[in-house]
């Protein structure tokens, strides 16, 4: 039974996307005020603001 190489690539990509925390990144380009980063571990490219944690406001009222 032959293994579909495209299926293997897709599975690896999904695993890497969910497993990598993107702790080692570098800026590859800045365009229109947006920094684009590359993860040095999984090589995914994304906007810097996607990596930054979103502040959570406590509702103490």
Query: Residue 28, Cβ neighbours under 10 Å: how many?
Result: 10
pLDDT at 27: 92
H-helix or E-strand spanning residue 3: none
> pLDDT tens across 37-61, in order?
988 988 888 888 887 665 656 666 5
| DSSP per-residue codes, 19-60 | H----SEEEEEEETTEEEEEETTT--EEEHHHHSPPP-----
Q: Tokens in use for 7?
A: 């299926």
Distance in angstroms (rounded) separating the CA atoms of residues 10 and 12: 5
8-41 pLDDT, tens digit each: 666 666 655 557 788 899 999 998 998 999 889 8
């Amino acid at each position: 039974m032959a293994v579909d190489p495209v299926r293997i690539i897709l599975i690896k990509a999904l695993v890497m996307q969910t497993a990598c925390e993107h702790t080692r990144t570098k800026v590859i380009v800045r365009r229109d005020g947006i920094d684009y980063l590359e993860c040095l571990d999984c090589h995914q490219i994304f906007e810097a603001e996607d990596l930054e944690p979103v502040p959570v406001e406590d509702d103490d009222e």
